[in-house]
C-alpha cells in the first residue's frame, strides 16, 4: 500500500500481551516514520497503546544492539565487536567440540519463552530439535494453573470472543487491570455499560479499572476462590442459580452442595478475605439482577499456591448460575487459538537414535535442574526471547549456573541483564524487520506481519540465525543438524495454512492477509452445553483431578504462609513495560520502575516517608526502591512493578502454584506468594 510518499505495511505487535495489536507501518526511504493501529482489525479497531506508538523510538534506539558482540571474560564488560562469521564459528565450534567430548548433544541447552510470540519464532525449538537429543525447557511460567483448572472443569480452556463482553449485563473482573494490560478491552466494557451493564472489580489493589467500577471489592491476596464459593452458596440458598442447568449439565452437584454447606460460612469468609458482609450482599444483589455475567479471571489470581483452585471456584460460580454458553457471559481466561495451527517449527524433529531422548528441565526451575544434570553436564546455553536474570525466580541459582557454563549465547535487541552475563550477544531483528504470523491468546483475530524495513545494522531474525548456524554446522560436520536451512520465512509461513485453518478463518490463500486481518469463525464456547470432559458435563467434581492427587471439588485452602516476613509482595505489570521490555525508551515514563508502593500505616511503623530510599529484603536477597505512599495498597501488602534496572525478582524464591502438571507438565510460578520486610536504605 501507499500513503502519499510512504509505503504502508501491515505489522503485528508480538509482545506477550492480551491485545496483539495489528498496526500499519509508514515507511519512507526504508525508514520507519510512524505506526498507527490497523482499522481493519476489529478488536483493536485502529488504535494502539502507548508502547505501540513508541515503536519508532524502539526500533532506532541508540541502545539497540547493532552487531554480534563477544565478551571476555564473562561479566567483565569488556566487549568486542565481531562479525557474524566469527560468531557462528565460535558457536558451531563449541557445539561440535562438546558433542565429541561427551558423545551426545545433551550438554547443549536452550532457554526460550515469550519475548516474541510470533509463530516463526519457534525456529529456536526447530533448530535444537534438528540436533537430535539435547536439553530443553518444558512447562509454562505464566498460565498453567488456570489452564489446568479449566481443563478439569470444562475439558479445555476456551474463552468466548472478548468482543462479546459488550453484550454482558454484569462484568466481574477478578485480578485483572485492563486499563494497563488490555486497553482495547475497555471499549467493549464501555459498550456494555452504556447499555446498562454493571462493572465489578475484585482485586487486592485499587487499580485504575477499579476506580471506574460500580463496585470495587478489595480482597486479601490469594482468597478469591473463597469469595467465589461463598457467592455460589448465597446464590443457591436464594434459589438464584440455574436449576435446569444444574440438573442436566453439571456433574458433582450433590457433593458440591454438601461442601458449600459444611465448609463455607459467610462470616468466616468475611474474616478471611477482608470483604465486609455488606459488600458481599451488594455483590450478590448485582449478580442476581444483571445477566449474563462475564467472569474475567485475570492471570494474577492463579499465581499463588492455591491459584488453580481460585480459577476452578470462579468457573464453578459461572456454571451453576447458567452463565456458560451465554453470549456476553461466560468464563474469560484465555483462548488457545494457536492450537489450530500445525506449528511446524515447534514440532520439527530429527528422529532420535535408539536409546536416546531429549533431557527436559522445568522452565520454572530451570537453573537448578541444569545444575543437577550430569552425564553429561550442561556446558552450552542459548537464550532467546527471554531475560531470565530479570524475570525468573530463584536468581541465585542462575548466577550459580552461569559459573558452570562454557559458552552462553543470548539473542536480543538490547543489552539486558542476561545479555550482560553472556559470552556472545547476537542482535535480534524487530518485528518490522521480519515476516511472521501472529495469533492472540485473548481475541480471535489472525494477522500477517510483513517485513517493512531493512534490518537494523546487522540484526537478524531467530529464523535467519537458525538457518545460518545450521548451515555452518553442516559445513564443519556434515549430518550434525538436519534443519532445512533452505526454507525461507515465507516457506514456513505457508506450511501453517492447512485446509482447517483456511476454513476457520475464511481464507483461500494466506496472501489474503496482506489485505487485512481475518477473524476466527467460531461459535460461543459451550453454546450447545456439550463440554469436552469425559462425560460431556461441566465437572464440579472432577475424577481426573482426583486421579492427579488434587481435590475433586474446587476448594479453598490458605495460600503459603508468610514465615518471618510480614509484608506480602505483589509484582504487577508496569503500564509502560511488558516484563523487562521497553526499558530503554525515553518516550515512555519510568515513574514506576524503582518505586515501592506501601500503605501509610505500614510505612509509619517503619518510620518511612514519601520519597525515602528503602531496602526491601527477605532470605533470597534485597533491592533498593523509593517509597511511594499509597492508600490504594492495603495494609500488609507492598507493590513493586516488574522491569526496570533493579529487578524485583531477586526477592522471589522457587514457589509453585497448585496446578499446571496436566497441560504443561509444570506448575507455574507462585510469584505472589512472596513475603518481605523493609527498612530505610540508601541508594
Which uninterrupted H or E stretch holds 466? Answer: helix 462-476
Task: Flag whether pLDDT at 660 surpasses 70.
Answer: yes
* Domain identity same for 244 and 117: no
- Phi, psi for 468 (deg, rounded to 5): -65, -45
Domain-located, residue 113 = yes
* Domain identity same for 239 and 189: yes
Task: Flag whether pLDDT at 297 surpasses 70.
Answer: yes
Residues 6+ apart with CB under 8 A from 223: 272, 273, 274, 556, 559
* Domain identity same for 378 and 234: no
Report how far residue 160's alpha carbon sits from residue 318's, in angstroms, rounded to the nearest whole number: 13
**SS3 labels along 278-289:** HHHHHHHHHHHH
- Determine contact, residues 52/21, Cβ cutoff 8 Å: yes
Question: What mean pLDDT comes out for the span 614-624?
Answer: 95
Model confidence band, residue 557 (pLDDT cutoffs 50, 70, 90): confident
Tens-digit pLDDT profile for residues 477-510: 999 999 999 999 999 999 999 999 999 999 999 9
Task: Flag whether pLDDT at 521 surpasses 80.
Answer: yes
Q: What percent of the chain has pLDDT over 70?
A: 99
Residues 6+ apart with CB under 8 A from 368: 394, 397, 654
Model confidence band, residue 591 (pLDDT cutoffs 50, 70, 90): confident
Report how far residue 649's alpha carbon sits from residue 397's, in angstroms, rounded to the nearest whole number: 12
Residue 547: exposure state from Cβ atoms within 10 A (0-12, 13-18, ≥19): exposed
Task: Flag whether pLDDT at 587 surpasses 80.
Answer: no
Model confidence band, residue 415 (pLDDT cutoffs 50, 70, 90): very high
Edge-to-edge order in the sheet of strand 359-362: 79-81, 69-71, 424-427, 407-412, 380-384, 108-112, 135-138, 359-362
Domain-located, residue 414 = yes
- Phi, psi for 208 (deg, rounded to 5): -60, -35
* Domain identity same for 372 and 284: no
Report the chain's mean pLDDT, rounded to a whole number.
95
| Of residues 487 and 646, more confidently modeled | 487
CATH of the domain at 214: 3.40.228.10
Task: Flag whether pLDDT at 2 surpasses 90.
Answer: no
Q: How many other C-beta atoms can be found within 10 angstroms of the C-beta atom of residue 193?
A: 16
Give CA separation, 493 vs 106, 114, 213, 416, 510, in Å. Answer: 30, 19, 43, 29, 8
Expressed as residue numbers, the domain containing 592 is 567-680
CATH of the domain at 638: 2.40.40.20
* Domain identity same for 586 and 466: no
pLDDT reported for residue 265: 96
Domain-located, residue 487 = no
Tens-digit pLDDT profile for residues 361-408: 999 999 999 999 999 999 999 999 999 999 999 999 999 999 999 999
* Domain identity same for 172 and 308: yes
Domain-located, residue 7 = no
Residue 260: exposure state from Cβ atoms within 10 A (0-12, 13-18, ≥19): buried
Domain-located, residue 502 = no
* Domain identity same for 125 and 254: no
Question: What mean pLDDT comes out for the span 436-464?
Answer: 98
Question: What mean pLDDT comes out for the span 621-638?
Answer: 96
Q: Helix 266-273 to helix 277-289 angle, to the nearest 10 degrees? A: 110
Domain-located, residue 513 = no
* Domain identity same for 467 and 539: no
Q: Which of 310-319, 322-331, 352-361, 657-666 has the lowest mean pLDDT?
A: 352-361
* Domain identity same for 126 and 148: no
* Domain identity same for 149 and 269: yes
Q: Which of 305-319, 372-386, 568-582 has the lowest mean pLDDT?
A: 568-582
Task: Flag whether pLDDT at 661 surpasses 70.
Answer: yes
CATH of the domain at 78: 3.40.50.740
Domain-located, residue 619 = yes
- Determine contact, residues 610/82, Cβ cutoff 8 Å: no
- Determine contact, residues 430/31, Cβ cutoff 8 Å: no
* Domain identity same for 313 and 419: no
Task: Flag whether pLDDT at 649 surpasses 70.
Answer: yes
Among 439, 539, 555, 409, residue whose Cα is nearest residue 98: 409
* Domain identity same for 392 and 533: no
Tens-digit pLDDT profile for residues 132-190: 999 999 999 889 999 999 999 999 999 999 999 999 999 999 999 999 999 999 999 99
Report how far residue 579's alpha carbon sits from residue 647's, in angstroms, rounded to the nearest whole number: 10
Report how far residue 630's alpha carbon sits from residue 595's, in angstroms, rounded to the nearest whole number: 11
What is residue 623's three-state secondary structure? strand
Q: How many domains does the chain have?
A: 3
Residues 6+ apart with CB under 8 A from 511: none
Q: How many other C-beta atoms can be found within 10 angstroms of the C-beta atom of residue 289?
A: 11
Domain-located, residue 3 = no
SS3 content of the chain, % helix, strand, coil (to 5): 35, 20, 45
Residues 6+ apart with CB under 8 A from 11: 22, 23, 24, 25, 35, 431, 432, 449, 450, 452
Cα 176–Cα 177–Cα 179 angle in degrees, nearest 5: 150
CA 669 to chain centre: 11
Amino acid at each position: 500500500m501507499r500513503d502519499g510518499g510512504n509505503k504502508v505495511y501491515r505489522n503485528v505487535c508480538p509482545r506477550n500481551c492480551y491485545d496483539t495489536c495489528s498496526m500499519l507501518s509508514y515507511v519512507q526511504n526504508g525508514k520507519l516514520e510512524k505506526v498507527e493501529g490497523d482499522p481493519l482489525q476489529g478488536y483493536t479497531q485502529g488504535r494502539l497503546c502507548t508502547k505501540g506508538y513508541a515503536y519508532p523510538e524502539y526500533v532506532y534506539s541508540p541502545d539497540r544492539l547493532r552487531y554480534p558482540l563477544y565478551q571476555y571474560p564473562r561479566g567483565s564488560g569488556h566487549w568486542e565487536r565481531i562479525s557474524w562469521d566469527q560468531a557462528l564459528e565460535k558457536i558451531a565450534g563449541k557445539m561440535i567440540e562438546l558433542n565429541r567430548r561427551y558423545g551426545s548433544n545433551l550438554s547443549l541447552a536452550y532457554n526460550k519463552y515469550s519475548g516474541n510470540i510470533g509463530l516463526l519464532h519457534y525456529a529456536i525449538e526447530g533448530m535444537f530439535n534438528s540436533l537430535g537429543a539435547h536439553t530443553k525447557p518444558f512447562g509454562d511460567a505464566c498460565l498453567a494453573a488456570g489452564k489446568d483448572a479449566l481443563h478439569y472443569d470444562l475439558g479445555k480452556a476456551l474463552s468466548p470472543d472478548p468482543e462479546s463482553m459488550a453484550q454482558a449485563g454484569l462484568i466481574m473482573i477478578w485480578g485483572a487491570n485492563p486499563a494497563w494490560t488490555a486497553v482495547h478491552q475497555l471499549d467493549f466494557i464501555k459498550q456494555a455499560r452504556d447499555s446498562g451493564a454493571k462493572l465489578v472489580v475484585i482485586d487486592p489493589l485499587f487499580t485504575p479499572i477499579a476506580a471506574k467500577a460500580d463496585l470495587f471489592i478489595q480482597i486479601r491476596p490469594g482468597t478469591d476462590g473463597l469469595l467465589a464459593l461463598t457467592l455460589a452458596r448465597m446464590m443457591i440458598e436464594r434459589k438464584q442459580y440455574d436449576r435446569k442447568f444444574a440438573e442436566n449439565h453439571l456433574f458433582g452437584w450433590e457433593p458440591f452442595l454438601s461442601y458449600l454447606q459444611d465448609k463455607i460460612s459467610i462470616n468466616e469468609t468475611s474474616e478471611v478475605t477482608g470483604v465486609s458482609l455488606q459488600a458481599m450482599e451488594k455483590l450478590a444483589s448485582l449478580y442476581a439482577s444483571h445477566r449474563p455475567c462475564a467472569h474475567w479471571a485475570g492471570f494474577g489470581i492463579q499465581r499463588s499456591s492455591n491459584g488453580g483452585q481460585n480459577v476452578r471456584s470462579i468457573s464453578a460460580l459461572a456454571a451453576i448460575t447458567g452463565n456458560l454458553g451465554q453470549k456476553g457471559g461466560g468464563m474469560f481466561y484465555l483462548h488457545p487459538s494457536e492450537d489450530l495451527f500445525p506449528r511446524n517449527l515447534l514440532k520439527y524433529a530429527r528422529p532420535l537414535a535408539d536409546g536416546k531422548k531429549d533431557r527436559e528441565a522445568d522452565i520454572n526451575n530451570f537453573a537448578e535442574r541444569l545444575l543437577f544434570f550430569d552425564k553429561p553436564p550442561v556446558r552450552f546455553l542459548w537464550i532467546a526471547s527471554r531475560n531470565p536474570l530479570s524475570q525468573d525466580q530463584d536468581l541465585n541459582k542462575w548466577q550459580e549456573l552461569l559459573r558452570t557454563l562454557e559458552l552462553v549465547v543470548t539473542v536480543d535487541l538490547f543489552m539486558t541483564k542476561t545479555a550482560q552475563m553472556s559470552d556472545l550477544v547476537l542482535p535480534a531483528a524487530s518485528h518490522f524487520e521480519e515476516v511472521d504470523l501472529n495469533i492472540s491468546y485473548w481475541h480471535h483475530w489472525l494477522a500477517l506481519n510483513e517485513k517493512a524495513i531493512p534490518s537494523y545494522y546487522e540484526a537478524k531474525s531467530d529464523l535467519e540465525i537458525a538457518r545460518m548456524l545450521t548451515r555452518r554446522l553442516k559445513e564443519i560436520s556434515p549430518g550434525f543438524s538436519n534443519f532445512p536451512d533452505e526454507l525461507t520465512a515465507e516457506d514456513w509461513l505457508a506450511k501453517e495454512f492447512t485446509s482447517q485453518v483456511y476454513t476457520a478463518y475464511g481464507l483461500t490463500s494466506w496472501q489474503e492477509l496482506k489485505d487485512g486481518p481475518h477473524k476466527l469463525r467460531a461459535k460461543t464456547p459451550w453454546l450447545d452445553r456439550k463440554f469436552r470432559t469425559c462425560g460431556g458435563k461441566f465437572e464440579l467434581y472432577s475424577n481426573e483431578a482426583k486421579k492427579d492427587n488434587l481435590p475433586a471439588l474446587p476448594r479453598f485452602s490458605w495460600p503459603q504462609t508468610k514465615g518471618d516476613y510480614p509484608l506480602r509482595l505483589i509484582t504487577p505489570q508496569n503500564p509502560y513495560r511488558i516484563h523487562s521490555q521497553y526499558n530503554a525508551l525515553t518516550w515512555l515514563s519510568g515513574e514506576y520502575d524503582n518505586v515501592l508502593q506501601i500503605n501509610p500505616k505500614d510505612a509509619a511503623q517503619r518510620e518511612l516517608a514519601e520519597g525515602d530510599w528503602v531496602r526491601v529484603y527477605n532470605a533470597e536477597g534485597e533491592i533498593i526502591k523509593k517509597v511511594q505512599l499509597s492508600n490504594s495498597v492495603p495494609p500488609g501488602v507492598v507493590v513493586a512493578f516488574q522491569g526496570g534496572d533493579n529487578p524485583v525478582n531477586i526477592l522471589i524464591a522457587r514457589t509453585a502454584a497448585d496446578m499446571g502438571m496436566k497441560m504443561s507438565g509444570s506448575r507455574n510460578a507462585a510469584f505472589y506468594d512472596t513475603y518481605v520486610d523493609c527498612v530505610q536504605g540508601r541508594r
